[in-house]
Amino acid sequence: STATDNSGAHPGSTVGSPTWGAVGSGPLGSKNCELQLNGTSQYVWVGPLTAGTNLTYTIWIKVSSLPSANVTIISDNNVAPNGTNGNFLTLKNDGTLRWFNFISGGPNTDLFSSRTITTNEWVFVAVTGDSKGVRLYIDGLASGSTSGVFADMTSLSYLSFGAKCTVFPCIS
């Protein structure tokens, strides 16, 4: 099946047979529905989309319980040819978020949220980056920043949401 963003311009393919919720079950009202991912093998594959290092990634998440192992929420990497650069957002088992990037030859950025995710509630997460650094927001409130930069996705980007990590061991 196909998952579509609010603009309708960036459809993604669902992988692993995730479960669709009823219309109106999502965080934005009657036009949206939730997509339930199992945290291990289900994800939405968007494909090439992002470019450069001045980027913003946003996502609504709702977790029923904290994971026993860290779970990938956003993966944006260049899996072909060698997967040398990537940006990742993960939910850790303590309820905090971790933003990590890998840049071939460095420097790498590691950022942990100062706030934790509340279970059974919709939470809006944004990660922004530019030449001044990377910033993490949870429900619009600053939750961490670093002077590091995003991995450059100019040449190739494979964006996915959910448990998708083909280049590195899924980040722990």
| Better-predicted residue by pLDDT, 109 or 58 | 58
Residue 141 confidence (pLDDT)? 96
Residue 163 confidence (pLDDT)? 67
Poorest-confidence range of 74-78, 117-121, 164-168? 164-168
Q: Model confidence over 82-91: pLDDT tens digits?
A: 456 778 899 9
Of all residues in the chain, what percent are helix, strand and coil, respectively (each to 5)? 0, 45, 55
Region 144-150: mean pLDDT is 84
106-111 long-range contacts, CB within 8 A, separation 24+ = 107/148, 107/149, 108/148, 109/134, 109/146, 109/148, 109/149, 109/150, 110/146, 110/148, 111/136, 111/144, 111/145, 111/146, 111/148
Q: Model confidence over 97-145: pLDDT tens digits?
A: 999 887 766 667 889 999 999 899 999 999 998 888 889 999 999 999 9
Residue 121, Cβ neighbours under 10 Å: how many? Answer: 11
Residue 155 confidence (pLDDT)? 58
Residue 137 confidence (pLDDT)? 97
Residue 167 confidence (pLDDT)? 42
Residue carrying structure tokens 């603009």? 7
Q: Model confidence over 3-51: pLDDT tens digits?
A: 877 777 778 888 888 888 877 777 776 566 788 888 778 888 887 766 6
State yes or no: pLDDT of 157 exceeds 70: no
Q: pTM for the complete prediction? A: 0.83
State yes or no: pLDDT of 168 exceeds 70: no
Q: Which of 16, 35, 14, 39 is nearest to 25 (CA)?
A: 35
Residue 127 confidence (pLDDT)? 93
